Amino acid sequence: MSDSVAIENDVQERFDQVMAQVRGRLTKRQYQTWFERASLVRWGENSLVVGLPNRFYQVWFQSKFSEMVREAAEQVARAPTSVSFEIVDGMAPAEPDPDDAVDEVEAVAPAPSHRPVEPPPATRDLYPAPFSGSGTEDLPLRLNELYTFDNFIIGPSNSVAHASARAVAQNPGRAYNPLFIHGSVGLGKTHLLHAVCHEFLRRFPDDRVCFLSCEEFTNEFVRSLQRNDVDSFRARFRNVHLLVIDDIHFLKGKERTQEEFFHTFNGLYQSNRQIVLSSDAAPNEIPTLEDRLVSRFTWGLVSQLEQPEMETRMAIVRRKAELMHIEVPNDVVEFIASNFRNNIRELEGALLSTKAYADVLGAPISLKIASEALKQSLQPTGMGVTLDKITQLVCERYQVKVSELRSKRRGRSISEPRQVIMFLARKLTKLSLQEIGDHFGGRDHSTVLYAVRQIENRYGTDPAFAATLERMADRLGGNLREDA
């Protein structure tokens, strides 16, 4: 192998490492949509050029991913690196994946037009997010300035985790030690951990804070083993006042790192230094985690982040829009919040896609734009359908007033349209039974379930009624048939 080939392979390998890091930070779907078509153009002295298939990708990458790629590149290169994006001609379009046929680009990009595409300006304020903070000398602290307690919306799903995070930031080493926050992906673990660091530093500006991902902890440890210098690795942690490690479940299966972490933990704990950890699972549910670590993780407080309810999701969409300086009408807030339920990062992604689509079209954000922009991610149900739209249509059809439906009246003239709305909402949106019940002044989920079953039965046995329902679904832009 000639030298130049060897160097090229080396660069490609580094680029692959960068992509691997990026993959770790995105959902599978986001990664597939955006990064599967990214390629290495060149990586010279401190500058990386990434190839992309078209202008639309370029705009997105500049506004949304450049900071992330730069960070990853700097970690891999261990040197300051600038990142730019070039359109690469003749790049084969990626094969659509039949299982997860999400090509948001095609969904979002309008048919080819020659209108110049301006980068979405407002999104830059959030992506890349600014970083700040002071750490220890060899572990500079990089905190996202937007991940503060102020920017964290509190609801029943997260209030305990939020309150405990606040408590440890205000009373480090005394409130709960360690604080262990767990929850599935995109529910705000990293956000809360950053918020703890911000608040702690605000109160104790001279103290030393160390924040790192468990992956970084592991990598640093492995490096110190290779350099035969575990002592200086340990010394780094000895003097910190607050140690925050994100995604501690990454320790699974890594025996030596677990062992090392055990000692780090004990050292800090004994000197009353605060430790905060996050994980995708409760301590006893992390496979192959040593028992002694499991038990230590539960010494303080274990609190869970759960999936946020509708109101919390709406409030989050509003706050994110505010932070991004995006004007979003209420029906779009409701639309996004009702269709992206499990992961707050997806809520944000939906907002950004909507914004980008509106920018490309040069139009203000509207429900129509949002449903177009998000069409692909919403199939097969929920294409632009909101409870309000369903309610309006059904009221029109049955000639009743919305206020009558929400009342406790029972007569058939009211109960049938009410049940039809519940049925359509169940079929055409991703709202839960409870959320649908809330819409009708707090009926519980069993009432809604009963209503849905009633209508389902008639749908199956009364063809004229079924046709009416299908026409309504159609007008809403949805489809009731199973194969839809």
Tell the smallest beta-carbon distance from residue 161 to ligand ADP (Å). Answer: 9
Q: Examine residue 153 and tell whether it contacts ligand ADP (CB under 6 A).
A: yes
Q: Examine residue 348 and tell whether it contacts ligand ADP (CB under 6 A).
A: yes
Tell the smallest beta-carbon distance from residue 28 to ligand ADP (Å). Answer: 13
Residues 235-294 that bind ligand ADP (CB under 6 A): none
The entry of ligand ADP, Mg ion, none near residue 187 (CB within 5 to 8 angstroms by kind) is ligand ADP
Listed in sequence order, the residues at least 6 apart from 258 whose beta carbon sits closer than 8 Å to its beta carbon are 251, 289, 290, 293
Q: Which is nearer to ligand ADP, 305 or 421 (CB)?
A: 305
Q: Which is nearer to ligand ADP, 326 or 425 (CB)?
A: 326
Nearest to 349 by CA among 34, 70, 21, 51: 34
- Looking at this protein, which amino acid is placed at residue 217? F
Q: Examine residue 345 and tell whether it contacts ligand ADP (CB under 6 A).
A: yes
Q: Which is nearer to ligand ADP, 124 or 319 (CB)?
A: 319
Q: Which is nearer to ligand ADP, 25 or 375 (CB)?
A: 25
Q: Examine residue 310 and tell whether it contacts ligand ADP (CB under 6 A).
A: no
The entry of Mg ion, ligand ADP, none near residue 344 (CB within 5 to 8 angstroms by kind) is ligand ADP
Q: Examine residue 300 and tell whether it contacts ligand ADP (CB under 6 A).
A: no
The interaxial angle of helices 387-398 and 330-339, nearest 10 deg, is 110
Tell the smallest beta-carbon distance from residue 325 to ligand ADP (Å). Answer: 16
Q: Which is nearer to ligand ADP, 67 or 456 (CB)?
A: 67
Q: Examine residue 344 and tell whether it contacts ligand ADP (CB under 6 A).
A: yes
The entry of Mg ion, ligand ADP, none near residue 185 (CB within 5 to 8 angstroms by kind) is ligand ADP
- Looking at this protein, which amino acid is placed at residue 364? P
From candidates 191, 198, 254, 313, binder to ligand ADP by CB under 6 A: 191
Q: Which is nearer to Mg ion, 26 or 41 (CB)?
A: 26
Q: Examine residue 190 and tell whether it contacts Mg ion (CB under 5 A).
A: yes
Tell the smallest beta-carbon distance from residue 455 to Mg ion (Å). Answer: 41
Listed in sequence order, the residues at least 6 apart from 154 whose beta carbon sits closer than 8 Å to its beta carbon are 162, 312
Tell the smallest beta-carbon distance from residue 433 to ligand ADP (Å). Answer: 23
Rounded distance between C-alpha atoms, residue 388 and residue 394, angstroms: 10
Give the nearest residue (CB) to ligand ADP.
188
Contact set with Mg ion (CB under 5 A):
189-190
Contact set with ligand ADP (CB under 6 A):
147, 151-153, 158, 183, 185-191, 316, 319, 344-345, 348
